[in-house]
Amino acid sequence: MSIETNRREIDRIDGQIVRLLADRIKFAREIGREKKKLGKRITDNTREKQVLEHIKNLAAGENLSPEDAETIYRLIIAATKGSEGHPVVTPEEIISGKAGKGNGTKVAIIGGSGKMGQWVAARLREEGKRVVITGRDRRKLLAAGKQLGVKTATNIAAVKQADVVVISVTIGSFAGVAAEIAPYVRPGQVIVDITSVKTMPVDIMHMYFKKAEVLGTHPLFGPGAKNVANMNFVLTPTNKRESALAQKVTAYLEARSARVTLMTPQEHDGMMKVILGLAHYIALVSADTLAGLKNIRQMAAISGITYKVLLTLIESVISEDPELYATLQMALPGLPELEDEFRKKAKFWAELAKNQDKAQFIRRMNAVHKKLEKNSVDFGKAYANMYKLVEGLK
């Protein structure tokens, strides 16, 4: 077929896609009206996950990339939410790629000279937002401002001029920063934090920023991420006002293909004690154990895949910022108790080997296998996934 004939076919198919999209949006509007009548939230994370799984399976069946199909559908879902009665991002904005871009919003990033602060500043700057950053160390702040091409200011001056304030300071500095800026926060001003724990900062924001629109958020990735696409965010609204803001933030992030989950600050911290606290603890203790051994270099050179993956985890954690990791280990509620439990289990498994109790070892391993398998979507793919990880390391 000639190029012209192929192009006519594409135009015909595009016509069908747009008509189908319009149909899809009509049904979504119906659902939006029903949800409103029933007083239900527009965002339904479980339903969204089901839709995306369905699409990925369909795509795989058609020999399309499930990841590409997911990205396209995240945009459609975000646009559809606009039609469900949530007008933050319009389908036109998403399709034209202009969602939320360059609308003159002025964003102050408190702690914008730090790693995550600079990352947030760079992403917002790319979108044409007017950004001002702050930090304690003036030389570091000026260097970051110059590199990012954004303005710098004191905390108070930045808050005074901003529509939106993002707090990206270390956990230990949070309370002091909140107390410092509180007298300058305006009614209706939006204040979000990105702290890795949530109960403490959200409580503090409630105490100091009563008239502002506040929301606790946690990006579950570090400053190495290229952008927010396929990255996880947790938002922790605690009342109706915060839920309304969380819906807007969700639409904003999902329009950029991020994955958003809503939960309470306490639920968040309960999960983070495992996701961050226990994971870091295991890596730190393993790092310390390895550091006391000889021939580490040679072992890495001759190792199989399990050790390579473990070593990557250990090395990535041990080369992180000790200040952040120490604070996290000390700030996550319930972590010491979980680590006590971990040490008991570590002793139990070591004793099995020491006592040559092979039968009990096998029984226990099978029992744990069964329990984890029941609760993990990717369990059956774990071995293959490990190889994929190592492929990515090359």
Ligand X SMILES: NC(=O)c1ccc[n+]([C@@H]2O[C@H](COP(=O)([O-])OP(=O)(O)OC[C@H]3O[C@@H](n4cnc5c(N)ncnc54)[C@H](OP(=O)(O)O)[C@@H]3O)[C@@H](O)[C@H]2O)c1
- Give residues in contact with ligand X (CB under 6 A): 110-111, 113-117, 134-137, 140, 155, 168-171, 173, 176-177, 194-196, 219, 222-223, 321, 324
Separation of alpha carbons 197 and 265, rounded Å: 8
CB-nearer residue toward ligand X: 231 or 311: 231
CB-nearer residue toward ligand X: 43 or 196: 196
In the complex, least distance from residue 373 CB atom to ligand X, rounded to whole angstroms: 30
Separation of alpha carbons 203 and 62, rounded Å: 49
In the complex, least distance from residue 229 CB atom to ligand X, rounded to whole angstroms: 17
CB-nearer residue toward ligand X: 72 or 231: 231
Q: Looking at the DSSP assignment, which residues form a beta bridge with residue 133?
A: 109, 152
Question: Residue 234's closest CA among 181, 270, 283?
Answer: 270
In the complex, least distance from residue 334 CB atom to ligand X, rounded to whole angstroms: 18
CB-nearer residue toward ligand X: 99 or 324: 324
Separation of alpha carbons 129 and 123, rounded Å: 9
Question: Residue 173's closest CA among 206, 151, 195?
Answer: 195
In the complex, least distance from residue 236 CB atom to ligand X, rounded to whole angstroms: 13
Q: In whole angstroms, how far apart are CA 394 and each of 89, 253, 308, 388?
A: 39, 31, 11, 10
Separation of alpha carbons 309 and 316, rounded Å: 11
In the complex, least distance from residue 180 CB atom to ligand X, rounded to whole angstroms: 7
CB-nearer residue toward ligand X: 88 or 116: 116
Pair of tokens at residue 4: 């012209």
For residues 128, 132, 136 and 141, what is the CA-based torsion angle, rounded to 10 degrees? 60
Residue nearest to ligand X (CB): 114
Taking the alpha carbons at both ends of the chain, their separation in whole angstroms is 41
In the complex, least distance from residue 80 CB atom to ligand X, rounded to whole angstroms: 29
CB-nearer residue toward ligand X: 171 or 262: 171
Q: Is 185 left (phi over 0), alpha (psi -120 to 50) or beta?
A: beta
CB-nearer residue toward ligand X: 99 or 110: 110
Cα–chain center distance at 118: 16
CB-nearer residue toward ligand X: 105 or 173: 173
In the complex, least distance from residue 331 CB atom to ligand X, rounded to whole angstroms: 9
CB-nearer residue toward ligand X: 77 or 328: 328
Separation of alpha carbons 305 and 219, rounded Å: 29
Close Cβ partners of 235 (under 8 Å, ≥ 6 residues apart): 215, 216, 217, 246, 249, 250, 260, 261, 262
Q: Looking at the DSSP assignment, which residues form a beta bridge with residue 234?
A: 218, 261
